[in-house]
Structure 1
Amino acid sequence: MIDIFVLLYISRILDMPPKKKELPIIDSDIKLIRKANELVEARYKFDIWETRVFAFMLTLIKHEDTDFREYQINAGDIVREFGLHDSGQVYDSIKSAGEKLLDKKVGIIRTLDDGRKEQFTTHLVASTATPEERGRGDYIKLSFHPALRPFLLELKERYLVYDIRNILSLSSIYSVRLFELLKQYQKIGKRKFRVDELKTLLSIEPNEYQLYGHFKGLIKRAEKDLLKHTDIYFTFEEDILKKKVVAITFNIFDNPNNQREKVGEKVKSKEVKALDASTEELERIYATVSNYVTKAKVKKWLKDLPIEQIEKGIAYTINYIKAGNTVNNIGGMLNTMVSTPNLYDKYEVTKTKVKKEAKKVQVNTALIEEKKAELQHIWQEYKIKEAELVQKLLSQNPTLRDDLVQRIQANNFYDPQKSLDENLQRDIIQGLKVSILSTMSKEYNTLTQYFNTKVKKTREELLALGYKE
């Protein structure tokens, strides 16, 4: 029998487009986009032309730049880079995109020095300029808003770098955004989002893609786009709760059909260092263990060991100490743990289990409240429809009221010391009224049975969630 994983692998390979012949790279071909992770995950919505113009602006920033300048984009450059036609029409598009970018705001979640997070909103572009007269060499000049400096200049940690050629052929703004969000986690190989969280990151409005099937179509399109045009591709898995997709896990892979040819050492030493995230990883990991090991040791870990294994080893050591265990040589323990593959971290498992249980309780509580509200709504809807039907029956049969009152007053539960209205306030008399009317009117009986069924089903769902009456 063929192994299922072999079948999946064959299927994945068959789905890939034929390998394209790559032209040799020269220095001028390399146009890198660099942006802080906070900007990658910022809240903004571009159309495809705004996306192209902003991306091209980013490639004009040099790695060594310490301040913004006015950046010029020629229509011919956009035509050539994005494989477009009709430079006149392209110029109109980039001019319009520049003007719209001038009005665009971006919402960035930034971290303060004390660890707190805050929502920071700023314009993206500070100014635009275009030639007075149309003609040869049409261009547009733009300058970034100064508030973007921390997110685009002198980046030292937590930033994304990629070759613009990855997005040149993407015609969907959502494919571009999803590419960047997954590219951040390329080395980890996996990224999970709640559905509502992913919609927010993609700047999808509440009235857009309300049906999950439509939203899934957007993701499927991005899946095909990235496989065809970029240096990564993905598969995805859905987390389902109560028949509803609540989260999506993306599995991220290097795309062998679109790997960019390695650049020469000359370019690498100057520009493509940024492509190698090891500098970022070195600083990030060293910051967590700098009291116990040298930076050279961390560098050796990164050279010899998988990043996930290193992070697991560090987490294990920290959890072990937090659990109250005494360690005389923390540096030695760190080195041993990060060098241990397939490390089983019982402390992390316990912590994860507690978090999952807390999350489960939180989700259950929310679902219980939702069901209780649904039950209340059913009851209110019943009271309205029941009152309307009783009014209708009494108007059709004037003697019905007298018959109903006589039968209620003849019952042993009726309290003669109280008025009829006072008796009707009692649950037992209300139940008696419903029972009598159900025998006197088939329409009333049908209405009661319908709502009884809805109430019973909702109560069962409520009890299944652990609700105690």
Structure 2
Amino acid sequence: MENNREIIFKDTNLVSKANSIVEATYKLGVMEQKIISVIASNIHPNDKDFQTYTFSIKQFGDLIGSKSKNLYKEVDKITTQLMQPFLFINHEGKPTRIAWLSKATYNINEGSVTVRFDPDLKPFFLLLNQKFTRYKLGNILHLRSNYSIRLYELLKSYEGLTERTFTLEELRAKLGLQDKYPVWINFRQRVIDHAQAELAKKTDISFTYDAIRKGRSIHKIKFKIKTNSSSDQIIKIEEDTYSQDVIDIQRLGLEIGMNLNKKVITEWLNYGKNNIVELMQSIKYDDTIKNPIGYISAVLPKKATTDEQLALFDDDKSILIEKAIREFIMSKLPKRKVTRIEKIPHYMHRNDALEILKKYFDEEESKRIWEEQGAEITEKLYEESQSKLIKAPSL
């Protein structure tokens, strides 16, 4: 008879994975990786076979801090995807197709899902007597990027050795990014720098890194790994901050004549404290709004979506870089049709480009961006300038 266990959700659950699956080449989204780790953290050390596990979708959403209003549909979709065979490279270098789950039952009336790992995954999760990586579940549950989760596991497996070096091509493959972010600076900012900030703030390890060049191109990334001693305090700090946020919003409400209960504030906080404060202050002297609580409840989701997008743009800087590059190219394009376009070496554009880049970044960062992308930007400028060229009449 098949044994079924109810999944226990605890940040302190231990996730154990064979290094061969940690090192494998595959791609999973954020939710998919978290579901795999939650299941893995409920395997008992003496289990000889996979059990079935039932988890409450609401509990899972609460645990990972999901704000999705369609979590039930998302979990159903994700578990279906996890049952599809995917291609990965095993520890012997052999391309292999395997599914993460062999079973996923959606218990519609119970608000839960029952799942089981595919039997072919046994060597990676059961009776681990080879090299394996172990970490507390809470380290990855609060990460927002799937690349951060993968990079965390890859570096965690080398934590005791303090250093880990990948070729850029190898790292792209392990993160499932072979064709995405082909320009180094975008890859660095959107993937590595973002993961660096997340891991330092939310996990038990942090890292610095050096980009090693081969000629003019980045060839390898050398990571230096260190233990983050403040990680045990992260969850408690988040909980304390959340409680203080409720108090702060209540006080601000009273100052502007709004008596807010904790339930309303708790719902609002899903969209960010700063967004709430800005909206409350913006309507402070607006007499046309007769139902301020209803107004904020209606406007907040739209504002949060816009602000979250802008925050992401600011965090990884890539959008600002693209904006600055576009401004530079537009400033250099001929204003009217011309009969001849000369290809100017990129170093001759340096000063003009830096003037525009410094509108968005400090001097050091501006110089680094131009050093890394100057030749590429100049080539793009030359290509776009061709559109201003008067074509010779055909004979």
The normalised TM-score by structure 2 is 0.54
Contact 2:16 / 2:135 at 8 angstroms: preserved in 1?
yes
Instruction: Point out 4+ residue stretches in structure 1 off by more than 4 angstroms.
Output: 26-29
- Partner residue of 1:164? 137
Shift of residue 122, structure 1, vs aligned partner: 1.4
> Do the aligned partners of residues 167 and 29 (structure 1) sit closer, same or farther apart at CA in structure 2, a change above 3 Å counting?
closer
8 Å CA contact retained: 2:84, 2:99: yes
For structure 2, list consecutive stretches of 5 or more residues without a partner in the other structure: 1-7, 235-339, 343-395
| 1:36–1:155 CA contact under 8 A, matched in 2 | yes
Task: Name the structure 1 match of 2:106.
Answer: 130
Match of 1:44 among 7, 15, 26: 26
Secondary structure in 1 aligned to 2:121?
A: helix
**8 Å contact from structure 2 (residues 11, 136) kept in 1:** no
1:148 paired with 2:130, answer: no
AA in 1 matched with 2:60: I
Distance 2:17 2:50 in 1: 14
Which of residues 40, 48, 71 is equivalent to 1:90? 71
Q: What corresponds to 2:84 in structure 1?
A: 103
- Spell out the pairing of 1:52-451 with structure 2 (5 A cutoff): 52-85=34-67, 89-111=70-92, 117-131=93-107, 133-134=108-109, 137-206=110-179, 208-217=180-189, 218-259=191-232
- State the match for 1:426 in structure 2: none
**What is the CA distance between 1:196 and its match in structure 2?**
0.2
On the 8 A contact 2:102/2:117 being kept in 1, the answer is: yes
Matched residue SS, 1:187: helix
C-alpha distance in structure 1 between counterparts of 2:20 and 2:9, whole Å: 29
**Distance in 2 separating the partners of 1:140 and 1:27:** 14
Q: Indicate if the aligned counterparts of 2:166 and 2:221 stay in contact, CA closer than 8 A.
A: yes
Q: Which residue of 2 aligns with 1:339?
A: none
> Does the C-alpha gap of structure 1 residues 143 and 239 become closer, same or farther in structure 2, counting only changes over 3 Å?
same
Conserved 8 A contact 1:39-1:108: no
| % same residue | 28
Cα drift, residue 78 of structure 1 = 0.8
Q: 1:95 to 1:167 in 2, by over 3 A?
A: same
CA distance in 2, matches of 1:27, 1:172: 21
Cα offsets for 1:352-378 (capped at 9, x unmatched): xxxxxxxxxxxxxxxxxxxxxxxxxxx
Indicate conservation of the 8 Å contact 2:11/2:137, yes or no.
no
In 1, distance between residues paired with 2:10 and 2:38? 14
Verify the 8 A CA contact 2:30 2:146 in the aligned structure 1. yes
Greater Rg over alpha carbons, structure: 1
**One-letter code of the match for 1:100?**
Q
Residue 89 of structure 1 deviates from its aligned partner by 2.6
CA distance in 1, matches of 2:79, 2:9: 28
Distance apart, 1:29 and its partner CA: 5.1
Aligned-residue offset at 1:106? 4.2
Per-residue CA deviation, residues 384-404 of structure 1 (Å, 9 max, x unaligned), is: xxxxxxxxxxxxxxxxxxxxx
Q: Distance in 2 between matches of 1:77 and 1:110?
A: 35
Q: CA RMSD in A?
A: 2.5
Q: Which runs of 5+ in 1 are unaligned?
A: 1-25, 112-116, 262-442, 447-469
2:183 counterpart letter in structure 1:
L
- Separation in 2, partners of 1:53, 1:211: 31
In structure 2, the partner of 1:32 is 14
Distance 1:56 1:106, change over 3 A: farther
